[in-house]
Chain A
Amino acid sequence: SSELTQPPSMSVSPGQTARITCSGDLLSRQYAFWYQQKVGQAPKLVIFVDTERPPDIPERFSGSTSGTTVTLTISGVQPEDEADYYCHSGDAGGTLWVFGGGTKLTVL
């Protein structure tokens, strides 16, 4: 299967930990990437190759992987982390891009 499945939404209070999962068979063979998209803005890369964080992304963002599931963890969620989060990977051949359906994170 070339699909990636994410929960449509989740909500957390400031200071809590948010864990957003992404599941799909291709994740056992291909790297995952995570993007943050705030309202009215372009997507922004927050995690690449499963666990790496770009230099401008706060340390509270981390990625992990286990089998066919990858997880984006935001430790000590801040109000500015409210956004849609998308996972992304390649197909079995690594040629085509596949996106998860996105998770809307609400910070209460």
Chain B
Amino acid sequence: EVQFVESGGALVNIGGSLTLSCEGSGLTFMNASMSWVRQAPGKGLEWVGRITKKIEGGRTDYATPVKGRFTISRDDAKNRLFLHMTDLKAGDTAMYYCTQGMHWGQGTLVTVSS
């Protein structure tokens, strides 16, 4: 069974930084392009960005609101995906999910407050 488990969510101050982690199991992680999707409280789904498989260059793409502030990386040896967030804003408050499309984790909550 494919599973993703996110961790690292926390309460952080505006302007602060935070790194989220996602551990995958039940799949050949290195063969999966992975995305981060977020959901602000009471709102819809918003794509954050993605990283392709290493064999496809490990290329990253980001949504406009986070470009230049967020960085996605992966460690295939540890079946892990990361989201490094800097210069956090109140609008980044959300549940953050990792997914390869078919399967999703349960999410980790990031709250940005002054």
Binding site for B on A (CB under 8 A): 33, 35, 37, 41-45, 48, 54, 84, 86, 88, 95-102
Contacts and interface: CB of A to CB of B under 8 A. Distances in A.
At the interface, is chain B mostly helix, strand, loop or mixed? strand
A102 B61 contact: no
B61 A95 contact: yes
A33 B45 CA distance: 13
Interface residues of B, number: 18
17 contacts: A42-B104, A42-B105, A43-B99, A43-B104, A45-B102, A45-B103, A45-B104, A48-B101, A54-B102, A84-B44, A96-B47, A96-B61, A97-B35, A97-B37, A99-B37, A99-B45, A101-B44
A57 B17 CA distance: 39
Interface in B57-108: 61, 63, 97, 99, 101-107
Given A42-B97, A43-B97, A97-B50, A102 B105 contact: no
Contacts of A95: 61
Nearest to B97: A42
B101 A99 contact: no
Task: Name which of A35, A84, A88, A97 has the most chain B CB atoms within 10 A of its CB.
Answer: A97
A44 B35 CA distance: 15
A88 B46 CA distance: 10
B45 A35 contact: yes
B45 A43 contact: yes
Contacts of A35: 45
A42 B104 CA distance: 7
Nearest to B52: A95
